[in-house]
Amino acid sequence: MTRKAAWVFVAILSVAVIVPEVVYAATGTFSSSSSSSALTATNSSTGRAINAASNSGYTGVFARTSSSGTTPTIYATSKSNTDGAAAIYGYQSSYANSELYGVWGRSNADSGRGVYGLAASPVGQNYGVFGRTLSSDDQATGVFGWASAGTGGTIGVWGEADSSDGIGVFGLGGGSAGIGMYGIGSAAGVVGIGGSGTPGTAYGVVSTGDMLLGGHLNTFSGEMAGTCSVAESTTTKICTFTDPFSFNPIVMLTPTANPSPLGGYWVTNQTAEGFTINVVTAPAGGAFTFNYMVVGVAAGPAGLARFEQAAPR
C-alpha cells in the first residue's frame, strides 16, 4: 500500500468511527414481540443510560401500556440502600414564581388515585407518602390536600390507621410557638367524634394540657349544663342525664331566684346517671328552678401515653 493510499484508508476509518457518535436520527420507530425487553440500555460509567429531551410543549419520554392488566406504564427499580436513593426522581429546575411540579399524577377513574404511595416493609417507621418543604414563608406546606369540587361532603386530607393503637392524623408543631393542629371552617374549625368503644376510653377530643378558649364554650345537649326544678311542696328533686357520663361527675348549682326561703340547698347522689337536689324548706307558690353545670372527672383514657408519644420523623 502506498503512503497516499494509507492516508485515505485512515481518513475513511476515522469517519466510520466518529460519525455514529454525532449523527442522530430525526425520527424512528421499531417494534418487538420479545417476552423480555424491547430496548435495553446500559452505561457502565457515571452517565445516563438513556437521555431524552424535547422541544417546548412536548414530552421528553412517552410510554403507554395496553388497555387492561395491572402492568405499570413505567417501572423503575433502585437497588441502592443509601438514604435518599429514589427509583424515580422528578425535578422541576425552574425557579419561576409559578405552580410548577416535580411529579404530577392523574387518574380519570371514578375510584382512581392521582398518586399512590406504599411503604411495603411490615416494620420500621416508614411512610407511604412523605412531603417536605424548605420554604420559610408563612403557610408553606409539606403536604397539601385540596378537594376542589364546589359541592358534596368532600375531604381535603384523609388519614386512616387500622392498627389497634393507630392515629389517623398526627400533627406536630415543633417550634417554640408551633401549633400541632390548626383548623379553620365556616361551620367548625375542628370536629371530633368519639368511637363506640368502652365508656371512658372513646373521646371526640383529648387534650393532655390546658384548654384555652378565645370564644364561648357552648353545649348542644342538656348533659353538661341545664336546668332542674324542685317542685312545690317537695324538698328533693332527682335530675337524670339523658346520656349517662362515663364517670361520676361534679355538679355545680346556681339558683335562678333568691334562695333564702328554701333555708339552704345542696346536692347528693352524684352518679354517672344523675344527681339529687335537696332543700331545707319546700318551695311555696310554685317550683324553684336551679341552673346546673356538670363536669365528669376521669382518671384519664387507657393508654394515655400513646397520645403523648414522640413525633414520627
Question: Which residue ranges make up each domain of the chain?
Answer: 225-296
Query: pTM for this one?
Result: 0.65
How far the first Cα of the chain sits from its last, in Å, is 74
- Contacts of 293 by beta carbon, 8 Å cutoff, 6+ apart: 224, 225, 251, 252, 254
**pLDDT value at position 309?**
55
**pLDDT value at position 303?**
53
- How far is residue 64 CA from its own chain's centroid? 32
Query: What is the pairing mode between strands 265-268 and 225-230?
Result: unpaired
Q: Distance (Å, rounded) from C-alpha 226 to C-alpha 298? A: 21
Q: Distance (Å, rounded) from C-alpha 36 to C-alpha 39? A: 9
Q: Residue 61 is placed in which grid cell? A: 419520554
The secondary structure of residue 68, as a DSSP letter, is: S
Query: What is the pairing mode between strands 249-255 and 265-268?
Result: unpaired
**pLDDT value at position 16?**
44
Q: Distance (Å, rounded) from C-alpha 254 to C-alpha 276? A: 14
Find, among 157, 208, 218, 149, the residue nearest to 182 by Cα.
Answer: 157
**pLDDT value at position 304?**
57
The sign one gets for the Cα dihedral 223, 224, 225, 229 is positive
Return the number of other C-beta atoms located less than 10 Å from residue 94's C-beta.
7
Task: Give the type of residue at 256.
Answer: T
**pLDDT value at position 58?**
66
Q: Distance (Å, rounded) from C-alpha 80 to C-alpha 297? A: 54
**Is residue 79 within 8 Å of residue 68, measured between CB atoms?**
no
- Contacts of 47 by beta carbon, 8 Å cutoff, 6+ apart: none
**pLDDT value at position 14?**
46
Number of H helices, E strands in the chain: 1, 6
Q: Distance (Å, rounded) from C-alpha 131 to C-alpha 102? A: 12
Quickly name the fold that domain 225-296 has: Immunoglobulin-like (2.60.40)
**pLDDT value at position 139?**
87
Q: Is 289 in a helix, a strand, or coil?
A: strand
**Is residue 267 within 8 Å of residue 248, measured between CB atoms?**
no
**pLDDT value at position 313?**
52
**Is residue 230 within 8 Å of residue 236, measured between CB atoms?**
yes
- 14 — phi, psi (to 5°)? -65, -45
**pLDDT value at position 291?**
97
Return the number of other C-beta atoms located less than 10 Å from residue 236's C-beta.
13
**Is residue 313 within 8 Å of residue 291, measured between CB atoms?**
no
Find, among 222, 198, 232, the residue nearest to 274 by Cα.
Answer: 222
- Judge residue 26's burial from the number of C-beta atoms within 10 Å of its C-beta, 0-12 exposed, 13-18 middle, 19 or more buried: exposed
**Is residue 143 within 8 Å of residue 131, measured between CB atoms?**
yes
> Which residues of the chain register pLDDT less than 50?
6-25, 310
**Is residue 209 within 8 Å of residue 310, measured between CB atoms?**
no
